A and B are shown apart, each in its own frame.
Chain A
């Protein structure tokens, strides 16, 4: 697909959005104003935009890694959720340990949780032939209510009015960059991961072999590439990135694991990866675009009398238009 076409598709999607907003809103101009300016209006909303985009960059890159390796990760939701809980449990258990050690350990715990779930689906495919798309989806479906229960009953903070674990000590939280917004030093991690993935896929032997395995497994095997290794590694890395996204939510945004606190990371990561067409260099812009639109729409919904269901519908329409336009055959 050519660059021009990609730009046309995105512009077309935005025009579609404009038309729909004008059509459904009782106060179209205000709605449009909010839609486009809200994410940039204050340091607060700008900080939130960047923070969310960073988190979606991680999960989007995660989905794209799996896809590139030839597997499909539908379990990002559960992986992120587990990734948000494990670091909190670790940090609550060791409140006195030095933060310089514990913050990386917490992040690693989050990545580990997601990676374990991804690895399980990956290895089941290689050993007994279970479809990883189904198994990752089901594993997430099983993990989510269990984690819901852990947060709501044994780990619950009785003081809190939310269904949430106790807060981790302030010293363990990721440094805030633009208070009171949600932007934390976690953004650097997201940028670093996106950059690393781009580099690995473009300039390394491992990235090359991963791409070939994903694009045509039989060809890869006949060329001496260990396809099953790359495929399960792809699932594991994918889970790790989704888990890391969850850890950024709990260690950065909330300071605790909250029931349903990571909702949407996995699914929205798929949307981001699709918009970017799994291209490593496009994950970050796609995450920004996605977040900008989501945030703008929710502001427009609040300000101008569009119902929130209609807001979601608009969002869905635009993303469907973009993914459909992108995946159309480019002769």
Chain B
């Protein structure tokens, strides 16, 4: 038995959902020491989140042994446990009605320390993270990346021995991710034990000292990060060597989205004189750092805000809808980047979420039968490899499975214009390839597909054309045969020497 002081040891942990129907964990384990960064890798639905939730004490495992500093975790009081182990969930939430500052003050020991002293500690930690927190903003108005940053600061305020982060970089820009990783390295050097859950193999392999690989709820291997190559890790996690789809050349048809001289200055970001057009049978990617105008464009396309100048037209000059309700009714398929919040009703059964776009087709004379919804949902679930029962609550789905459900639903019923924002967020390699296949089939059926993505890796494999957005303007344009990772990256960062200037 390994030395148990200063460590978290989990062995043979099993956890079942839906009365044993779904095996989330089936003999998982890991060994986390103080002073190290430990990566937990696995594909969507492999049980990563369930395992760390068991370790953090959010849920109870059905069997298995979890020891914190040698003491069985179940014997620790809740306050002892949360004092030792801080956990940052994948999609954290703040208290909607409290400002970030008030939220951070919650649970701080005000007996010994005054308010000023607390504020000082908050400032010290957020300075170490080097991300400015919007201290006076209400919780429900804080963007996702700053919510995660706030949670990290909050976790560190309690001075834990162990820090568990579930996919912390999902909502971060590359720069923020870099800063976070820098801080994590410092903290580990100071003796904290850090467990980071991710499906971004490359990222975690560079950061972590050791890795635990999880597949179908079982721990397969525990190794030093440098012992395995990326390819080896990927083979272990996936079982097979999936490859990227071969691209057939596109055959563009009529214009289905035409954007002319679009300008908008919103609170967070702006765009300036953006023009592009998208044809049926083509995949066009718009890429850039989100704050450089991508999120502004997304908001305009989801009709959340109206542009200051310029116009958007659909096929045959039809004006673009100005109300969110009108988008789907105009036959546009749209997956927003905040789809975890606005892409599903988590409290309702899976089948209610799966059928929302085809509700009219499934109903007759206003009657919408349960059976029809269930049949349609089963088809969707099997097509996208989603392990869930149509009647299960949607909130019981793992993050990756929920992403597949939302993307799959939109893609399956789409035909004309399809707008996908951050299409591969939250998906592992396998899920991504499956979604890419579906997108390509959709293109070949004659749909026009617009991808808005801040991570170029996510779109290079399938885009026919790529436009780079920098500082609110389209600064570069690449055809598929000109794609070059380095040059596109430089364009995104505003370093010149790009493809053809626009």
Q: Mark B336-366, 1 if CB is under 8 A from A, else 0.
A: 1000011111111000100011011001001
Complex CA gap A204/B363 in Å reads 8
Q: Which of B59, B327, B367, B368 contacts A222 (CB 8 A)?
A: B327
Give the most central of A205, A212, A223: most B CB within 10 Å.
A223
Contact with B along A221-234 (1 / 0, CB 8 A): 11111110000000
Complex contact B329–A224 (CB within 8 A): yes
Q: Complex: how many Å from CA A266 to CA B2?
A: 63
Is B326's CB within 8 Å of the partner chain A? yes
Contact residues in A for B348 (Cβ distance below 8 Å) = 211-212, 215
User: In this complex, what residue of A is CB-closest to B335?
Assistant: A222
A205 touches B370 (CB 8 A): no
* Residue contact A216 to B344, C-beta cutoff 8 Å: yes
State A218–B342 Cα separation when bound (angstroms): 5
B289-306: contact bitstring with A at CB < 8 Å (1 yes, 0 no)? Answer: 000000000000010000
Give bound CA distance, A258 to B209, whole Å.
78
Asked if residues B367 and A218 are in contact (CB atoms below 8 Å), the reply is no
Query: Does A331 count as interface, using CB distance less than 8 angstroms?
Result: yes
* Interface assignment of B369: CB less than 8 Å from any CB of chain A: yes
Residue B325 lies at the interface, judged by CB distance under 8 Å to chain A:
yes
Interface assignment of B334: CB less than 8 Å from any CB of chain A: yes
Q: Which residues of B contact A204 (CB under 8 A)?
A: 363, 366-368
Chain A nearest Cβ from B406, distance in angstroms: 10
Q: Which 3 A-B pairs have the closest CB atoms?
A: A224-B328, A215-B345, A216-B345
Of listed B59, B348, B360, residue having the most chain A CB within 10 A: B348
Answer whether A205 and B360 are a contact pair too, CB < 8 Å, given A215-B348, A216-B344, A222-B336.
Answer: yes
**Does B83 reach chain A (CB closer than 8 Å)?**
no
- Residues of A with C-beta under 8 A to B143: none
Interface of A is mostly: helix
Return A227 CB to nearest CB of chain B, in Å. 8
A209 CA to B345 CA, complexed, in Å:
12
Interface residue? A203 (CB, 8 A): yes
State the B residues within 8 Å of A (CB). Answer: 59, 302, 324-329, 334, 336, 341-348, 352, 356-357, 359-360, 363, 366-370
Chain A residues closer than 8 Å to B366, beta-carbon distance: 204-206
> Min CB distance, B333 to chain A, in Å?
11
Q: How large is the interface on A (under 10, 10 to 19, 20 to 34, 35 or more residues)?
A: 20 to 34
A147 to B183, CA, bound (A): 66
Residue A202 lies at the interface, judged by CB distance under 8 Å to chain B = yes
CB-based contact B326/A224 at 8 Å: yes
The residue from A202, A222, A331 contacting B328, defined by CB atoms under 8 A apart: A222
**Using a CB-CB cutoff of 8 Å, which residues 200-252 of chain A contact chain B?**
202-209, 211-212, 215-216, 218-227
Interface residues of A in 281-331 (CB under 8 A from B): 331
> Which B residues touch A211, using CB under 8 A?
345, 348, 352
- With beta carbons under 8 angstroms apart, the residue of B325, B341, B359, B363 that contacts A221 is B325
Known pairs A212-B345, A218-B341; A225 contacts B325 (CB<8 A) = yes
**Given known A-B contacts A205-B366, A216-B346, A222 and B324 have beta carbons under 8 A apart:** yes
A: residues with CB less than 8 A from B are 202-209, 211-212, 215-216, 218-227, 331
How far apart sit A88 and B188, CA to CA, in the bound complex (Å)? Answer: 77
Contacts of B336 in A (CB 8 A): 222
What residues of A have a CB within 8 angstroms of the CB of B345 in the complex?
211-212, 215-216, 219-220
Instruction: Give A182 Cβ to nearest chain B Cβ, in Å.
Output: 37
Q: Name the residue in A202, A208, A220, A222 with the highest tally of chain B Cβ atoms < 10 Å from its Cβ.
A: A222
Residues of A contacting B342 in the complex (Cβ-Cβ under 8 angstroms):
216, 218-219, 222
Residue in B closest to A218 when the chains form the complex, CB atoms: B342
Least Cβ distance of B113 to chain A in Å? 32
How close is A119's CB to chain B, nearest CB, in angstroms? 21
Query: Which among A203, A216, A221 is the interface contact of B324 at CB below 8 angstroms?
Result: A221
Give the CA-CA distance A205 to B325 in the complex, in Å.
17
Complex formed: what's the CA distance from A71 to B59 in Å?
Answer: 31
**Is A202 touching B370 in the complex (CB atoms < 8 A)?**
yes
B346 partner residues in chain A, CB cutoff 8 A: 215-216
**Nearest-neighbor residue (CB-CB) of B324 within chain A:** A221
Instruction: Kindly identify which residue among A206, A215, A216, A224 contacts B325, using a CB–CB cutoff of 8 Å.
Output: A224
Query: In whole angstroms, how far apart are the Cα atoms of A331 and B336 in the complex?
Result: 28
Let me know if A223 and B357 touch, CB within 8 A. Answer: yes
Interface pair B341/A224, CB less than 8 Å apart: no
15 further A-B contacts with Cβ under 8 Å, apart from A212-B356, A216-B342, A219-B345, are A203-B367, A205-B363, A205-B367, A208-B359, A211-B348, A211-B352, A212-B348, A216-B345, A218-B341, A218-B342, A219-B342, A219-B343, A221-B324, A223-B356, A224-B325
Q: How far apart are the CA atoms of A224 and B360 in the complex, in Å?
A: 11
User: Is the beta-carbon distance between B325 and A212 smaller than 8 angstroms?
Assistant: no
Contact B302 A205 (CB under 8 A): no
Distance from B492 Cβ to chain A, minimum over Cβ atoms (Å): 28
* Chain B nearest Cβ from A230, distance in angstroms: 11
The interface residues of chain B lying within 8 Å CB-to-CB of A208 are 352, 359, 363, 368
CB neighbours of A202 from chain B (8 A): 370
Docked pose: A277 CA to B178 CA in angstroms? 46
A206: chain B residues at CB < 8 Å are 366
Listed A/B pairs (9) with beta-carbon separation below 8 Å: A205-B363, A207-B368, A208-B359, A215-B345, A218-B341, A219-B345, A224-B325, A224-B329, A227-B325
Residues of B within 8 A of A216 (CB): 342, 344-346
Give, as a whole number of angstroms, the nearest-CB distance from B15 to chain A: 10
Inter-chain CA distance A221–B326, complex, in Å, is: 9
Whether A226 pairs with B352 at a CB distance below 8 angstroms is: no
Residue of B nearest to A202 (CB): B370
Cβ–Cβ < 8 Å partners of A212 in chain B: 345, 348, 352, 356
- Contact in complex: B352, A203 (CB < 8 Å): no
With A208-B359, A224-B327, A225-B325 as contacts: A219 and B368 at CB distance below 8 Å: no
Complex Cα gap A203–B366 (Å)? 9
Contact of A219 with B369 in the complex, beta carbons under 8 Å: no
Nearest residue (CB) in A for B328 is A224
- A326: min CB distance to chain B, Å: 14
> What chain A residues lie within 8 Å of B344 (beta carbons)?
216, 219
Nearest residue, chain B, Cβ from A213: B345
Closest residue of A by beta carbon distance from B17: A331
Q: A218 to chain B: which residues have CB within 8 Å?
A: 341-342
Cα of A215 to Cα of B356 in the assembled complex, Å: 13
For the complex, what is the distance from the CA of A228 to the CA of B359, rounded to whole Å?
A: 19
- With the chains together, A208 CA to B354 CA distance in Å? 12
In angstroms, Cα B345 to Cα A215, docked, is 6
How many Å from the CB of B314 to the closest CB on chain A? 15
Bound together, the chains give a CA A247 to CA B347 distance in angstroms of 35
